[in-house]
Structure 1
Amino acid sequence: MNTITLIGCGWFGFPLAKQLVKQGFQVKASKRHPDDLTPLQQAGIEAYQLDLANVTIKAKNSALFDADAIVINIPPGLKRGQTDYLDYLIQLKSLMGDRQYQKVIFISTTGVYPSLDQTVTEQNAVAFNETSETLLQAEAIFSAMENSCIVRFSGLIGPKRHPGRFFAGKTDVSGANVAVNLVHLDDCVAAVSLILSRTDTLPIYNLAANEHPTRDVFYTAATQHLELIAPQFNQLQQPSKIIDGQLISQQLGFQYRFDSPFKMLDAC
């Protein structure tokens, strides 16, 4: 494997691309807007403009898709009311055509698991609402491809995403009892890099730190870490879940750098 394509090169994709360049790969990556290509080029990445909402003839014939492996990282945007997510992915699959990749990695989310007050593994995904149904349909577009691997990220934190700002100063916050499921950017980069290097990967992996403090304990500590006003939680409990992210460790020997959300705070 020499050439790796990244579809989507933002908060997660750009650090991954730079890491792969360091490892000696030829890396191609896409951004929606042409003005965003220069930082990629300066980092030694072959940069391509790709807007799945407006695919041009140039995009259809682009060398972007000629690679040994491809990582697809397109944020769903469902919480923002985006409705074209599946259309974009179908368009992307069409652009990939009949190319044969040594690895097809699709970045998904642990939003496919319902909160039923239990620990969930890769086998527990279910369409329990409209959002989860969309996410599972998105996974299915690529999971049927040869050499595919779905990677489901838990809540992402890292540079410019310090959890101390999520609930700072808020009052009457529900769900103090809810388990926190987080993963640090550095662990996401390391895990996907590892999956790219292996031929014995399983179809699906969760990524989540092993420790799952409750929301009130963790977010109080996170706001204190930034010396912000701690949130005030009410007594209203909510359904919870614990994401088991250990399969990748057991099967591929992956070691989380941040096995506790508390350890992530100094690296945000």
Structure 2
Amino acid sequence: MTSVTIIGCGWFGFPLAKSLIKQGYSVKANKRLPQDLNQLSQVGIDAYQFDLAVENTFNAARELLNTDMLIINIPPGLRRGETDYLANLHVLTSAIGDKQYQRIIFVSTTGVYPNEDKVMTENDAQPHSLVSETLLQAESMFASMNNSCIVRFAGLIGPQRHPGRFFAGKSDVSGGNVAVNLVHLDDCIAATSLILRAPEVAKVYNLCAPEHPAKADFYPYAATHLGEIAPQFNQQTAPSKIIDGNLICRQLGFSYHHTNPIKMLDAC
């Protein structure tokens, strides 16, 4: 039985772990607090208390990182002002050392792309801000490892993440022309599972639904779908980037289940 370790078993990692168990993998995962381990154990996950910022949990890393495949899904928290993201990842790479894995997947975001009027492919990332510079530094720690793949998620939506709250009730909102770049949790799980199985993968894949409605069309609909007050957009425009998530489709035969962000709302 192939073993997979997930570092970061939260909103994405936990349902991913449950899906992988159903697919026949043996799954290990961590939580930072001991009281959270039972949630993992109850669904068949081999649970470990491990916090990259707490030295006395490092012993758990030895067994946790003894695995066939490794998925690293640590939210950066940069927009919340957290500053220990890169330091924590350095701790993790030190713990990995020279271990060799059949596949390493590092979960990143499409925040690495600048706000420009163009279609963004995997080759268009650049350090256009402090946040993007940090994200790219994080990616670089794992990109050089054997059998690694960076997966950049667009805006994540799904259960407990309904986008109808984002602009609900606001008025005079600018950028109504800007394209929406979203991806549903279901497609993130399916794509990650496919990357684990694939014999050969690219170094980087974007994950983003192929349809991109304008914000002025999408967010009022999303708000009313949730029973909130629809936002009002003004006429002020902004650069509109479109994330191209098609490379994984062309190379690995992936097919997005949720192609239209408006229709995705029924699955949130």
After the TM superposition, which of the residue ranges 79-88 and 232-241 deviates more from structure 2? 232-241
TM-score by length of 2: 0.98
Counterparts of 1:106-117 in structure 2 under 5 Å? Answer: 106-117=106-117
1:14 aligns with 2:14: yes
Q: Percent same amino acid among aligned pairs?
A: 62
Q: Which whole-Å deviations, capped at 9, do the CAs of 1:137-170 have from their partners, x for residues lacking one?
A: 0000000000000000000000000111111111
Deviates more, 1:52-61 or 1:28-37: 52-61
Task: Answer yes or no: is the 8 Å Cα contact 2:113–2:124 preserved in 1.
Answer: yes
Q: Check conservation: 2:122, 2:206, Cα contact below 8 A.
A: yes
Report the Cα offset of residue 36 of structure 1.
Answer: 0.9
Counterpart CA distance in 2 for 1:58 and 1:133 is: 28
2:104 alignment partner, SS class: strand
Query: Which segment is superposed worse, 40-49 or 54-63?
Result: 54-63
**In the alignment, what sits opposite 2:102?**
102
Residues 151 and 206, structure 1, Cα contact 8 Å, conserved in 2? yes
User: In the TM superposition, what is the alpha-carbon distance from 1:34 to its structure 2 partner?
Assistant: 1.1
Q: Please show how residues 31-46 of structure 1 align to structure 2 within 5 Å.
A: 31-46=31-46
SS class of match (1:62)? helix
TM-score (norm. length: structure 1)? 0.98
**How far apart, CA to CA, are the structure 2 residues paired with 1:28 and 1:57?**
15
For structure 1, the 5+ residue unaligned runs are: none
Determine if contact 1:60/1:95 at 8 Å carries over to the other structure: no
> Secondary structure at 2:5's aligned position in 1?
strand
Q: Provide, for residues 106-137 of structure 1, a one-character-per-residue CA deviation record: whole Å limited to 9, x for no partner.
A: 00000000011110100000011111100000
Please give the alpha-carbon distance, in whole angstroms, between the structure 2 residues aligned to 1:80 and 1:260: 29
CA distance in 2, matches of 1:61, 1:124: 34
SS of 1:105's partner is strand
- The 2-side partners of 1:29 and 1:60 are apart by 11
Say if 1:231 and 1:237 are closer, same or farther in 2 by CA, change over 3 A. same
Runs of 4+ in 1 over 2 A off after TM superposition: 55-62
What is the rounded CA distance, in whole Å, between the counterparts of 1:58 and 1:66 in structure 2? 13
Q: Aligned partners of 1:176 and 1:111: how far apart in 2?
A: 19
Unaligned runs of 5+ residues in structure 2 are none
Give 1:172's aligned residue: 172
**Structure 2: which amino acid aligns with 1:218?**
F
Aligned pairs (5 A) from 1:156-195: 156-195=156-195
Contact 2:49–2:60 (Cα < 8 Å) also in 1: no
User: Where in structure 2 are the equivalents of 1:1-268 lying within 5 Å?
Assistant: 2-56=2-56, 58-59=58-59, 62-268=62-268
Aligned-CA RMSD value: 1.1
The verdict on how the C-alpha distance between 1:41 and 1:175 changes in structure 2, with shifts beyond 3 A counting, is same
In structure 1, C-alpha distance between the alignment counterparts of 2:200 and 2:62, rounded to whole Å:
30
Number of residue-to-residue matches in the alignment: 268
The one-letter amino acid of 2:131's match is T
Separation in structure 1 between the aligned mates of residue 146 and residue 188 of structure 2, nearest angstrom:
23
